[in-house]
């Protein structure tokens, strides 16, 4: 796909909603900025993207998204530094992953500049919506779904690519207690677990509700075949620290290739922390909890960056993690957010200025 866009058409909102927003008390992904990017796939190709006022979309009841679930998405954040410069974090990784997800769902892939130039145009016009309070950011949600019609169970002939943004406060999940899942699976070999497909989330909600009823906040997914190996923490990748080694599972059909995960691996290594990317048995974690070598567990993803786990349940027993003064989790989170918000040098070239 070699389509190149020169200028993106912009239809400005007549009024702004920004004065109604309390930027000191932002929740996560709750209010939306004035504009969105919209781009249609029809007649066999992606049409030129446009920036339009944030608005509802109308779909035919037979749109395939409702029946066959062809939908993929991304999650990213924009930050504004003390000099009013706007930054993204590894945005090309999100673009590439969106197309990897699309391909698996038989959704047509997007040209790179539709994504990147579209995103830049949107951030330029809604620049004032990027919050500057500590820990806050403009959460960005690019997504693609089947808008084409018909009950025939086959890929749609029309799609929509949209990017919406939501000014968001720090994502404080607090410390979570998790349940290691032994019955349900998030993903399977040959399945869509590596894709950011909407349906992956739908399938997680019910087992997560059951865990919440038992007093946990989140599920630790294990492999679908044996339920013996730790795979992900809810919709985040998982890291386990045993003694001074940080362990996370290898990506696969079943484990999503998180950008936070791979950044943590690189950063931790560069800070001299021992990192092992390998399969990790539940029994090894339980054993480490019993003998005191289990120091930390945390989830890793764009929204929270790092989400500490305070304990876990497994086979009707509960295990607590120690409360450490200095954790790898806190240290790595600060290093990553400082890079993201241009408070420190970026030896990895991860930061991307929007201009």
Ligand X SMILES: *Cc1c(COP(=O)(O)O)cnc(C)c1O
Residues that bind ligand X in the complex, under the rule CB under 6 A = 75, 196, 232, 235-237, 256, 258-261, 301-302
The least distance separating ligand X from the CB of residue 232, rounded to whole angstroms, comes to: 5
Assigned token pair, 156: 């749609």
The least distance separating ligand X from the CB of residue 61, rounded to whole angstroms, comes to: 28
Q: Smaller CB distance to ligand X: residue 236 or 321?
A: 236
Q: Smaller CB distance to ligand X: residue 158 or 266?
A: 266
Cα within 13 Å of Cα(346), Cβ side: 18
Pairing of strands 245-248, 274-277: parallel
Q: Indicate if the alpha-carbon torsion angle 295, 299, 301, 305 is positive or negative.
A: negative
DSSP state string for 225-237 = TTS-BEEEETTEE
The least distance separating ligand X from the CB of residue 11, rounded to whole angstroms, comes to: 30
State how far the Cα of 191 lies from the Cα of 96, in Å rounded to an integer.
19
The least distance separating ligand X from the CB of residue 332, rounded to whole angstroms, comes to: 13
Q: Smaller CB distance to ligand X: residue 220 or 289?
A: 220
**Is the Cβ–Cβ distance between 242 and 294 less than 8 Å?**
yes
Assigned token pair, 98: 């969106």
Which residues, in sequence order, are bridge partners of residue 177? 311
Reference 248, options 276, 209, 208; nearest CA is 276
Q: Smaller CB distance to ligand X: residue 112 or 124?
A: 112
State how far the Cα of 214 lies from the Cα of 203, in Å rounded to an integer.
19
Query: Could you give phi then psi for residue 276, rounded to 5 degrees?
Result: -120, 125
Q: Smaller CB distance to ligand X: residue 180 or 259?
A: 259
The least distance separating ligand X from the CB of residue 312, rounded to whole angstroms, comes to: 18
State how far the Cα of 212 lies from the Cα of 201, in Å rounded to an integer.
16
The least distance separating ligand X from the CB of residue 217, rounded to whole angstroms, comes to: 16
Q: Smaller CB distance to ligand X: residue 35 or 333?
A: 333
């Amino acid at each position: 796909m070699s389509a190149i866009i020169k200028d993106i058409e912009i239809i400005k909102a007549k009024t702004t909603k920004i004065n109604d927003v309390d930027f000191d008390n932002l929740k996560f992904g709750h209010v939306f900025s004035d504009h969105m990017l919209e781009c249609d796939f029809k007649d066999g190709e992606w049409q030129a993207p446009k920036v339009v006022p944030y608005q509802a979309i109308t779909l035919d009841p037979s749109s395939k998204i409702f029946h066959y679930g062809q939908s993929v998405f991304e999650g990213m954040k924009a930050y504004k530094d003390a000099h009013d410069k706007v930054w993204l974090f590894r945005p090309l990784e999100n673009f590439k992953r969106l197309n990897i997800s699309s391909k698996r769902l038989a959704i047509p892939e997007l040209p790179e500049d539709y994504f990147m130039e579209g995103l830049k145009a949107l951030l330029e016009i809604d620049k004032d919506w990027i919050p500057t309070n500590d820990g806050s950011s403009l959460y960005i949600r690019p997504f693609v779904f089947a808008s084409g019609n018909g009950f025939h169970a086959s890929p749609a002939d029309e799609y929509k690519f949209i990017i919406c943004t939501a000014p968001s406060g720090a994502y404080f999940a607090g410390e979570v207690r998790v349940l290691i899942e032994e019955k349900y699976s998030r993903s399977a070999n040959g399945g869509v677990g590596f894709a950011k497909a909407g349906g992956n989330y739908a399938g997680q909600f019910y087992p997560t509700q059951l865990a919440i009823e038992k007093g946990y906040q989140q599920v630790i997914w294990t492999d679908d075949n044996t339920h013996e190996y730790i795979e992900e923490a809810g919709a985040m990748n998982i890291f386990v620290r045993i003694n001074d080694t940080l362990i996370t599972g290898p990506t696969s059909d079943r484990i999503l290739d998180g950008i936070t995960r791979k950044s943590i691996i690189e950063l931790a290594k560069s800070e001299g922390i021992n990192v092992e990317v390998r399969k990790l048995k539940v029994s090894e974690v339980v054993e480490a909890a019993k003998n005191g070598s289990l120091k930390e567990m945390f989830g890793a993803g764009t929204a929270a960056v790092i989400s500490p786990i305070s304990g876990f349940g497994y086979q009707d027993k509960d295990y607590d993690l120690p409360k450490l003064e200095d954790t790898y989790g806190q240290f790595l989170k600060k290093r990553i957010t400082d890079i993201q918000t241009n408070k420190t040098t970026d030896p990895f070239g991860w930061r991307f200025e929007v201009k």
